[in-house]
Amino acid sequence: MDNSASFDAIVVGAGLGGLSVGAILAQKEGKKVLVLEREPGIGGRAHHFKGDLINAPQDYLGPLAASTGWLVRSEPDLQSIVDDRLLAGYSFELGMHDIVNGAHSRMCHILESLGVPVEIVPLKACGFWVDGELHELKRGSFPWMDRDTYTEMRTILAAMLRMSVDEVRKHYRESLADYVQARTQNPKVLEFFDILGAFTVGMNSARELSAGEFILITRMPMAAGLHFADGTLGQMGGESFMQIAHNLASIVTAAGGAVRTEQRVTGIRVVDGRATGVTIAGADGHTYDIASDLVVSNVPISLTIDRLLPSDVVPADFVKHVHGLRSSGAFTPIFGLRTSVVDIPGMLMAKVPIDDPALQDGIVLGYEAHSLFVDGKAPHGKEIIECWVGLDTFQLRELKDTGKVNLVADAVRDFLAAQHPGFADALEWALYPAFDFVVSVAPTPEQAWDAMLDPKCPGVDGLFFVGESVKNYGGFMDGVAYTALLTATAITGTDYLAILPPYQREL
């Protein structure tokens, strides 16, 4: 490897955020960009497993750990799953992944603008469990709601859609639960917003969500012409969401730059308040420096400050603020089944009670049988179900420390077994991974938008951040795409957010 080559910009981390900025700088600004990635592969938390390639427990546990994940338990034990080749023919995500807003997602807009689009497989339906019964959402009516309840729900939703951005801002510091309770006491409407809120924003309860964030996110798919009854989310075949990373990397290299894996950045060098390059520990353990006066960090912000920057180059109040940010995580069980037991090709949602004071809200469970509508997710005739339970990082760690995360695992498995006849008999294997970080700044009323960071690092010229702790709304990959455009704008002065339709850049 030629370490003497010079680069116009260095991006630390080949997650979707880092690669998006790198690709924009490379193609639109003609910069020679070097992207450095610590892991053997690119894509960061957008990681896809092919069961055929899991030949040892570490092939699964390694990528999990690299993304702040751990395996709570599995059935049978992981060594037996590997030895008996139970995962052969299945493919699945690190933990359930969907692309928010499907083919209209901000990430798709970036890829289209760079000339490397991907094919999105839309979800085709959406279902709600209410009072022990599964209802498929229909346009114009929700089957479990009587006429008055439906009208009440529609009235609240319609007011959210009509609201000016200034009005939305006023509701940013209020929880979604408080917002809805001020407008109705109807338990079915409250439950609907509780479950939808948990899904749109990815946490466990409307009490924890910013109403303003929910409003902006909920109107994005509607403005794009999508409808909840049709799913509004998307999947990808083949390499799944990692394909996005490969497409972006191809743009960087096509413009004369490079994407190098197994290159762990150990420090961002700063001289007289200016970024001057990075220090790298290569795969062979050899340490070397590369100079550039433009550095973009895609590494989680607290780690950038604690591990990569010299102490005292950034203001103390900024460090304090970053250390105070609350992240949110998820518990994402995955089940492989000998036969199919689910028949709705989309996201199914349920509120599942758990009899324990540590989980007084119960859990909001979402699950999808991807093999129903995406080729190659499970061997012919078999089924894969990926599940989502969004949990605050602190709560998740507490559940881990007390062993109560197993209660959540039991609740998910028992719910599926009770509601889908044949589930227990068809179950071939189960993995129960959990993740500390799904979004690094949880969209709580205290934090959403305002607590997030500007792209430019205070105190260090030439150093920028990209990734989900940078200002965005929408969160997840879609939020990361927003941050990439905001960061590219901050670096170059060109308004890259303009590639998005107006309803995706309301703030």
Ligand X SMILES: Cc1cc2nc3c(=O)[nH]c(=O)nc-3n(C[C@H](O)[C@H](O)[C@H](O)COP(=O)(O)OP(=O)(O)OC[C@H]3O[C@@H](n4cnc5c(N)ncnc54)[C@H](O)[C@@H]3O)c2cc1C
Which window, 14-22, 174-182, 217-225, 446-454, contacts ligand X (CB under 6 A)?
Answer: 14-22
Q: Which amino acid is at 293?
A: D
Is 67 an interacting residue with respect to ligand X (CB under 6 A)?
yes
- Is 66 among the residues that bind ligand X (CB under 6 A)? yes
The single residue among 10, 11, 38, 121 that binds ligand X, judged by CB under 6 A, is: 38
Strand partners, 34: 10, 258
Contact (Cβ atoms closer than 8 angstroms) between residue 450 and residue 443: no
Query: Residue 271 and residue 192: Cα distance in Å, rounded?
Result: 54
- Name the minimum Å distance from CB 418 to ligand X: 25
Measured from the CB atom, is 16 or 294 closer to ligand X? Answer: 16
Candidates 24, 25, 34, 36: give the one binding ligand X (CB under 6 A).
36
Closer to ligand X by Cβ: residue 137 or 334: 334
Part of the chain binding ligand X (CB under 6 A), chosen from 2-10, 13-21, 122-130, 156-164:
13-21
Calpha distance 172→460 (Å, rounded): 30
Does residue 339 contact residue 322 with C-beta atoms inside 8 Å? no
Which residue, 37 or 152, has its beta carbon nearer to ligand X? 37
Q: Please identify which residue in 10, 11, 14, 81 interacts with ligand X, judged by CB under 6 A.
A: 14
**Interface with ligand X: number of residues (CB under 6 A):** 37
If one counts every other C-beta atom within 10 angstroms of the C-beta of residue 279, the result is 15
Q: Give the up-direction half-sphere exposure of residue 90: CA atoms within 13 A in the CB hemisphere.
A: 27
Residue 153 vs 301, nearer CB to ligand X: 301
Q: Which is nearer to ligand X, 93 or 152 (CB)?
A: 93
Asked if 244 is part of the footprint of ligand X (rule: CB under 6 A), the reply reads: no
Q: How far is CA 232 from each of CA 221, 351, 478, 479, rounded to the nearest angstrom?
A: 6, 20, 13, 16
Q: In angstroms, what is the minimal distance from the CB of 425 to ligand X?
A: 28
Q: Tokens for 491?
A: 């670096």
Chosen residue from 73, 154, 264, 321 binding ligand X by CB under 6 A: 264
Residue 239 three-state SS: coil
- Our finding on whether 292 is near ligand X (CB under 6 A) is no
Query: How many residues would you count in the chain?
Result: 507
Verify binding: residue 221, ligand X, rule CB under 6 A.
Answer: no
Report the residue from 44, 51, 336, 345 that binds ligand X according to the rule CB under 6 A.
44
Is 71 an interacting residue with respect to ligand X (CB under 6 A)?
no
Contact between 468 and ligand X per CB under 6 A: yes
For the beta carbon of residue 15, count every other beta carbon within 10 angstroms.
Answer: 27
Q: Decide: 246 and 20 in contact? Cβ < 8 Å.
A: no
CA separation for the pair 331, 438 (Å, rounded): 10
Q: Give me the long-range contacts of 419-422 (CB less than 8 A, separation at least 24).
A: 419/129, 419/132, 419/134, 419/350, 420/341, 420/342, 421/341, 422/339, 422/341
- When binding is defined by CB under 6 A, the residue of 92, 172, 432, 435 that contacts ligand X is 435
CB of 66 to ligand X, least distance (A): 6
One symbol per residue from 297 to 336: x for binding ligand X (CB under 6 A), - otherwise; what is it? -xx------------------------------x-x----
17 binds ligand X (CB under 6 A): yes
**Minimum CB–partner distance for residue 433 and ligand X (Å):** 7
Residues 344-403 that bind ligand X (CB under 6 A): none
The single residue listed with the structure tokens 């319609």 is 158
- Per DSSP, what are the bridge partners of residue 126? 347
Rounded Cα distance between 474 and 189, Å, is 23
**Which residues of this protein are in contact with ligand X, per CB under 6 A?**
12-18, 36-39, 44-46, 66-67, 94-100, 264-265, 298-299, 330, 332, 435, 438, 467-468, 476-478, 480
